[in-house]
Amino acid sequence: MTADDAGANDAGAGGDAAAETPADEPAGDPARDDGNDENNIAVKLEQLILGAERRYTPFQAARSAGVSMDLAARFWRAMGFADIGQVKALTEADVLALRRLAGLVEAGLLSEAMAVQVARSTGQTTARLADWQIDSFLEGLTEPQDSGLTRTEITYPLVELLLPELEEFLVYVWRRQLAAATGRVVQAQDDAEMVDRRLAVGFADLVGFTRLTRRLEEEELGELVEAFETTAADLVAAHGGRLIKTLGDEVLFSADDAGIAAEIGLRLIETMGHDETMPELRVGIAFGTVTTRMGDVFGTTVNLASRLTSIAPKDTVLVDEAFAEELGRTGDAPVSEADAAAAEKAALEGTGSPPPPYRFALQPMWQRPVRGLGVVEPWMLTRRG
C-alpha cells in the first residue's frame, strides 16, 4: 500500500496499476486461472492459511476499516509487506486487523506511533518465524515420499493438518512470554527503570568463523550455525537469561542478575569446549544501564560487551569492572582474592567467620583503550576452585 499518489484516483495508491487493469481482474493476480498447477496450489494454500479469499484493494480495505489510507499504508509497511498498488489482494482479516489497531488508537489505549510500533515488532518477529518454519520445518517434512507424490502435492494436506496446531502453540508461547515480560515490568522500581534498566548483557562469538565460511560447504556451515544457536538458546533459557538475538556466529543475551549472566557465559564456554565439531568460543559481558526497544537492547553497556568479546582470548569470559563489582556486591565472587584467602585461613584457624561460598573468581587483566569507550580494565571470569 502507498499513500503517495492518493489524489490520482479514489484508490489513493498505485493509481497507474488500478487504471490499467480492472479491479476484479488485477494485473499479476495469481488467483487468475492461468493453467499453472503449482500457481493454483499456491493460491489455494494462501486461502487455506489466511482463511479467506482476496476481496479488497488497499483503498477498499482502508475505507471498510474506517481508517485513512495513509495510516493503513503505515500499518501495512510496518508489518513488513511491500506496497501492492491497487491489486485486489486483501481479505476480511486484513480489514479486521486495521480496524483493531485503529480502534486501540481511537480508544486512547495506544498512540498512533505506538500502534505502528506494535505492527512493526509483530511483523518482524513473525516474519522470521514464518521463514524458519518454511525453510527448516515444512521443507523437511515435504520431501518427496515413496507414495510418488510431489512436494507440491504433499504440501497442501500437510499444512491443512499442521496449521491449527501451530496456531494454538504460537498463541500459547506468546502468552507465556508476555507473562514473563509483564512480570519483569511489574518488578521495576519506577517508570524510568521500565525502559532504561540495569542489566547484564553478554555476547558469545565463534572464533575463526570467517575462515570456516571459506572451508566448509554451505550446508555444513548452516548446520554448524544452527547447532550453535540452538545450544546457546537452550543454555540461556535454562539458566534464567533472555536471548536477545542471534547473528550467525554470535549471540546476544541479557540477564537481570550478574550471577545468572556469569553462569551462562561459563556454561557456554564449557559446553562448546566439549563439542569437537564446534570452534572455540569467546564471551564478553558488561553490567549497566541498558535501553530496551522492541525486544532489542542498546547503549554503552551493550557496546562495551561487544568490545570485550572482540578482545577476549579463545575459550575465555571477559567482564567489565562494573560487572566484577556487582558480583562482589552480591557475594558471587570475592572483591579481592587476597582478602578471600585471608578470611578462609582465619576460618580454618578458628579466628574468624568463614567467607561466603563464592561461585566465581575474577582476575584483573591489562588495561587497554577501547575504541569509542576510553580505557577499560577487563576482568577474566572463571569458576572458583
**CA-angle at 113, arms to 111 and 118, nearest 5°:** 90
**Same domain? 85 vs 28:** yes
Q: What is the average pLDDT value for the chain, to the nearest integer?
A: 80
User: What local confidence, expressed as pLDDT, does residue 200 receive?
Assistant: 96
User: What local confidence, expressed as pLDDT, does residue 36 receive?
Assistant: 57
At residue 322 the predicted structure's pLDDT band, cuts being 50, 70 and 90, is very high
pLDDT in tens, 46-81: 888 888 889 999 999 999 999 999 999 999 999 988
Q: For residues 279 and 254, is the Cβ–Cβ distance under 8 A?
A: no
Q: Which three cell numbers stand for residue 240?
A: 534464567
At residue 128 the predicted structure's pLDDT band, cuts being 50, 70 and 90, is confident
Alpha carbon of residue 44 to chain centroid: 31
- For residue 21, give the nearest of 80, 79, 86 by alpha carbon: 86
The answer on pLDDT for 144 being more than 80 is: no
Q: Residue 114 belongs to what domain range?
A: 1-141
User: What local confidence, expressed as pLDDT, does residue 3 receive?
Assistant: 39
**Same domain? 375 vs 344:** yes
The answer on pLDDT for 29 being more than 50 is: no
**Same domain? 213 vs 362:** yes
DSSP 354: P
CATH number at residue 360: 3.30.70.1230
How far is Cα 375 from Cα 352, in angstroms, rounded to an integer? Answer: 38
Structural domain total, the chain: 3
User: What local confidence, expressed as pLDDT, does residue 342 receive?
Assistant: 66
How far is Cα 287 from Cα 237, in angstroms, rounded to an integer? Answer: 19
Q: Which three cell numbers stand for residue 227?
A: 547447532
**CA-angle at 266, arms to 263 and 267, nearest 5°:** 80
Read off the pLDDT of each residue in 131-154 and give the average, rounded to a whole number: 66
At residue 352 the predicted structure's pLDDT band, cuts being 50, 70 and 90, is low
**Same domain? 20 vs 106:** yes
DSSP 139: H
User: What local confidence, expressed as pLDDT, does residue 302 receive?
Assistant: 94
The answer on pLDDT for 19 being more than 60 is: no
Rounded to a whole number of angstroms, the distance between the first and last alpha carbons of the chain is 62
Q: For residues 75 and 116, is the Cβ–Cβ distance under 8 A?
A: yes
Angle between helix axes 258-273 and 321-330 (nearest 10 degrees) is 110
How far is Cα 298 from Cα 195, in angstroms, rounded to an integer? Answer: 11
**Same domain? 237 vs 360:** yes
Burial of 173 (0-12, 13-18, 19+ CB in 10 A): exposed
User: What local confidence, expressed as pLDDT, does residue 346 receive?
Assistant: 63
At residue 334 the predicted structure's pLDDT band, cuts being 50, 70 and 90, is confident
**Same domain? 125 vs 227:** no
**Same domain? 32 vs 58:** yes
**Same domain? 87 vs 233:** no
Q: Which three cell numbers stand for residue 327?
A: 558480583
**Same domain? 323 vs 375:** yes
